Structure 1
């Protein structure tokens, strides 16, 4: 999950703000300690103009 974020030089805070989540909760998603919602995945995919499969 963090591959796309890091490739684009973005912080966890940027993605957390994008999906309306606290940064610490987004960090848990990247670390496999929390599941990401379908809604959040769609927001991220739309933001980066990629398909959900690419994400």
Structure 2
């Protein structure tokens, strides 16, 4: 399966919702603006590797799992 910005955003949203986090809470906890985080979930922006690492750590998954490589 090809990883698109939209697919990655949906995966990130899935993990966020699974953990009962709001976009604002998650964005604040990983050190980005809520609007930027929203753009990531909707596929309008691509997260930088350090943002992916923070998301993966928050979700307690590997970056590979987060992007669907496993």
TM-score surpassing 0.5?
yes
Measured in 2, the distance between the counterparts of 1:13 and 1:23 equals: 5
Q: Which runs of 5+ in 2 are unaligned?
A: 1-11
Q: CA RMSD in A?
A: 1.0
Q: Which runs of 5+ in 1 are unaligned?
A: none
Structure 1 stretches of 4+ moved >3 Å: none
- Count residues with an aligned counterpart: 55
Q: Which residue of 2 aligns with 1:47?
A: 58
Measured in 2, the distance between the counterparts of 1:22 and 1:44 equals: 14
Say which structure, 1 or 2, has more relative contact order (CA 8 Å, 6+ apart).
2
Structure number with bigger Rg: 2
